[in-house]
Chains A and B, each alone.
Chain A
Amino acid sequence: MFELRNVAIVGVGHSNFGNRFDVRIDELAWEAFSEALKDSNLTAKDMEFLVVGCAGGWSAESLPSVICSEYCGTLPKGSMRVEAACATSSAAVTTAYNFVASGYVDLAVALGVEKMFESPNPVQIELIGRAGNYFWEFENFGMTFPGYYALHATGYMWKYGLKEEDLAEIAVKNHYYATINPKAQFKKKIDVDTVMQSRYVAWPLKLFDCCPLTDGSAAIILASEDVAKKITDTPVWINGIGASTGTGNLSKRDMFMNLEYSGLESAVEAAKQAYKQAGIDYNNAAKYFDVACVHDCFTIAELMAYEDLGFCQRGEGLKLIREKQTYNGGLIPVNIDGGLKAKGHPIGATGSSMMYSLTKQLRQEYAKLAGEEAQATIRKGRALAHNIGGTGHYAYVTILSLEKPHR
């Protein structure tokens, strides 16, 4: 069989997240890209392929990969734009990974970038609401993105007795860690009352259960083993990538709809694929990782992720959050960079932003960025990124490791 090569992250960069009216999309991409160049001591000319993750639709440029390639100085190297909704830049990393692993190139960059505020808020709500099966969910029934996840929240409440206050605890945690992440969108500590008193967006989800709309970029430079050794003493290896696709219609999700659980079947499938590659036991997954970033576009989504990833049994996600086991120092620190919920969720840059945080964590450089309080203790040398597109329409699980994969 054709042998894949080992691939390592050798450089990472991240823009400030938020409302970035001060920059265009290419200028925003440059912020992350240039930081990744400095981080790796490489130049734009060293890049052999640029994979741009950009969901688009709300921003002016139709060909963001071209505009960003030119501005970042990677011309005339090949480029493309990939899309997997909110998992777009995990798909970009997967693509760049395969280019390097296959021997097509030695060095490639996955650059996630999203400029959501180029369109007014109502246009964005309209566009994101269409992220299902258009005619059967949107045209006549006007679903919204919070609405899709609210269906999961209601399902969870009916099955396991989830309370809105439980979900609020997740928002409180992620806002707390965002206050100490200098790149995060929200800088205000909140409490359970803040969440409970916020207005309903899609019952039972309230404004503070939801992530914000965000402009932002994050870049990940990937290299083959030989090249990586020349660039860095601390390569962070890609140790597994799982990818799965769920049904367009939420009504067709069998496990959820049969009330077997309220998770995402695609996330379970993606996790199992990635765990198999990295030799991880699904039923006891938390003990293999020092830190994780999971897709908390809504508070309920983080709770579902705990269970879909095998961090706990079905229905026990509640216990993890009630016992603060996903704070730094707990069983498994989750979203201690603020998560989508409070760091922000620039659709096409979210996956690469997760991998930026996790690379910094594994290199033990996160303390320098955000303070010791948010630096996980690195014992196992392994971290996990769980990035969902749509409502489980796409699922990507990526495992990063300080130890080189055994092939």
Chain B
Amino acid sequence: MSDLNEIAKKNIEEKGLPLIDEKKTNLPLYISLRELPLRFQFGTAKIQKFFEGLKEGKIYMTQCRKCGEKYFPPQADCPKCPESEMNWIPLKGEGKLLTCTMIIVKPSTFTHYDNYIVGIAEMEEGVRVLAWLRIDDPKKIKPKMKVRLTTVRRKPEGFITYEFVPCKQD
């Protein structure tokens, strides 16, 4: 993208317009000078306990006090009842792997990580969690293998998140 900017700038200097010839098709393209940086911010007030929990090494789900429905990702409102009285319960951490993939072509904001494995596991409590699975050799992955969900500081940024690691298999 930045090289497009450079070419556009050069073309403005030389020809007065940010027009380029597209490489593959040789068709003329106008390169917009108005780049739009997008970084979102979203409220966490209603599920703040989840983030407090991460700092203590806990991963919380919620459970409706009225109907008993369990939620992960945790949410503060139960659409089934509809009530907003929730118990916050830390997951014990044991789960079995239901499916996984290894992401090789990554989003541009993830290219600084090595290829990563994303899995979904069913936890003892009955809720399911999507997270990275840290495993030394992907060939060791087995259907329904036992995994443990744990908090971790993600390198290189250092923020706290959660991931699966293999349990000692039976």
Contact = CB atoms under 8 A, between A and B. Distances in A.
Interface of A: 19, 21-22, 60, 120, 122-123, 125-126, 129, 133-138, 140-144, 146-147, 150-155, 158, 199-205, 249-252, 257, 259
The B interface, classified by DSSP as helix, strand, loop or mixed, is mixed
Contact of A125 (B4, B105, B113, B132): B105
28 contacts: A19-B24, A19-B25, A21-B27, A22-B27, A120-B4, A122-B1, A125-B108, A126-B107, A126-B109, A133-B73, A134-B40, A138-B107, A141-B132, A142-B109, A142-B110, A143-B130, A147-B101, A150-B101, A152-B99, A158-B143, A201-B104, A201-B105, A203-B138, A204-B101, A249-B73, A251-B129, A257-B128, A259-B98
Interface residues of B, number: 39
Contact of A142 (B4, B98, B113): B113
B1 A136 contact: no
A83 to B, nearest CB: 18
Given A19-B25, A22-B25, A250 B105 contact: no
Contacts of B116: 141-142
Given A142-B103, A202-B104, A251-B129, 15 more contacts: A123-B1, A125-B107, A142-B107, A142-B109, A142-B110, A143-B118, A147-B101, A150-B101, A155-B98, A158-B99, A199-B104, A200-B102, A200-B104, A201-B105, A204-B101
A202 B110 contact: no
Contact of B101 (A126, A129, A151, A158): A151
B143 A251 contact: no
A147 B32 contact: no
Nearest to B159: A140
A-B CB proximity, top 4 nearest: A150-B101, A142-B110, A122-B108, A251-B128
A135 B100 CA distance: 19
Nearest to B105: A201
Contacts of A137: 130
Q: Quick one: which of B99, B102, B128, B138 has the most chain A CB within 10 A? A: B99
Nearest to B131: A141
B141 to A, nearest CB: 9
B103 A144 contact: yes
Contacts of B98: 155, 257, 259
B100 A250 contact: no
B154 interface: yes
B36 to A, nearest CB: 10
Contacts of B101: 147, 150-151, 153-154, 202-205
A21 B120 CA distance: 40
B161 interface: yes
A249 B130 contact: yes
Contacts of A141: 116, 118, 130-132
Interface string B122-136: 100000111110000
B167 interface: no
Contacts of A153: 101
